[in-house]
Amino acid sequence: MADYHFVYKDLEGTSTQWDDIQRKLGNLPEKPPVFKPPSFTPAEDEDSKPKDRTWIDGKTEEELEDLEDDRFLEEYRKKRLVEMREASEVAKFGSVIPISGSDFVREVSQAPQDVWVVVLLYKDGFPECRVLLQCLEDLAKRYPATKFVKIISTECIPNYPDRNLPTILVYNNSAVKATHVGIHSFGRRCTSESVALVLCQADPVLNDGHGGEQSRDAVLDGVRKKFLERVVREREDDDGSSSD
């Protein structure tokens, strides 16, 4: 007759009363902790997320274009697309663009009618040119809808005298609207604020890209305010140094 042996196992972690007594006496080691599998959290389904303003704001322009029509999202989707496109249009330039003589007509004379172009005539090795260029680079960042370009003076105007450097030409609608010769055209100390004030004396040359008469007036008021703040600060510095 076959010899069958049965091994009975209780639930994991259970023990007999005898084992418990032996553990209290220190004759048996402590029971190992009961194994518990880590909790399972299913991956978040993109389609299950609530389609609210936050969800829309996280989308790129291409993703917004691909969204299926959804009545309660359609209006906000269109609004968000307009905002993104306006923001990209504002950031047209944002820096001083180097051009050559062959680029001048395309980049300056043929610029769109609503774009003001500030042209710097310069040469390397002239400290005054370097100072004015730094000011224009600052203004280009502040007013990205105004186009700033720089060109070697003799590439723009053959035999242009070095004594007139740096020179700024202001273009709009294919015509020269203003000419500023020499760094002293921008005051005793050439700063971004003094350059901005001179550029905006007659025309709204600087454009922050937000459009409208209110925005233009705000830009001009801001230019004047920053200029006055700079003048006051310089006078205070002069008074402080003279008292020492």
For 14-73, write each residue's pLDDT tens digit: 667 777 777 777 777 777 777 677 776 666 655 555 555 666 666 676 666 666 555 546
What pLDDT is stored for residue 214 in this prediction?
44
Buried b (16+ CB within 10 A) or exposed e, 85-97: eeeeebeebbebe
pLDDT band at 97 (very low <50, low <70, confident <90, very high): very high
What pLDDT is stored for residue 44 in this prediction?
62
Q: What is the DSSP string of 32-98?
A: PPPP-PPPP-PPPPGGGS--SHHHHHTS-HHHHHHPPP-HHHHHHHHHHHHHHHHHHHH-S--SEEE
Alpha-carbon torsion (228, 233, 234, 240), positive or negative: positive
CB 41 within 8 A of CB 63: no
**What are the tens digits of pLDDT across the range 113-138?**
888 999 999 999 999 999 999 999 99
Rounded mean pLDDT, 84-91: 57
| Order of strands, sheet of 175-181, starting from the edge strand that comes earlier in the sequence | 96-98, 147-152, 117-122, 167-172, 175-181
Alpha-carbon torsion (181, 155, 110, 115), positive or negative: negative
Task: Report how far residue 222's alpha carbon sits from residue 218's, in angstroms, rounded to the nearest whole number.
Answer: 6
CB 186 within 8 A of CB 138: no
CB 117 within 8 A of CB 108: yes
**What are the tens digits of pLDDT across the range 197-236?**
899 887 889 887 766 554 566 777 777 777 777 667 766 6
Strands 96-98 and 147-152, sheet pairing:
parallel
**Cα–Cα distance list, 90 to 18, 132, 139, 143, 205 (Å):** 82, 24, 14, 9, 15
| Chain-centre distance for alpha carbon 158 | 38
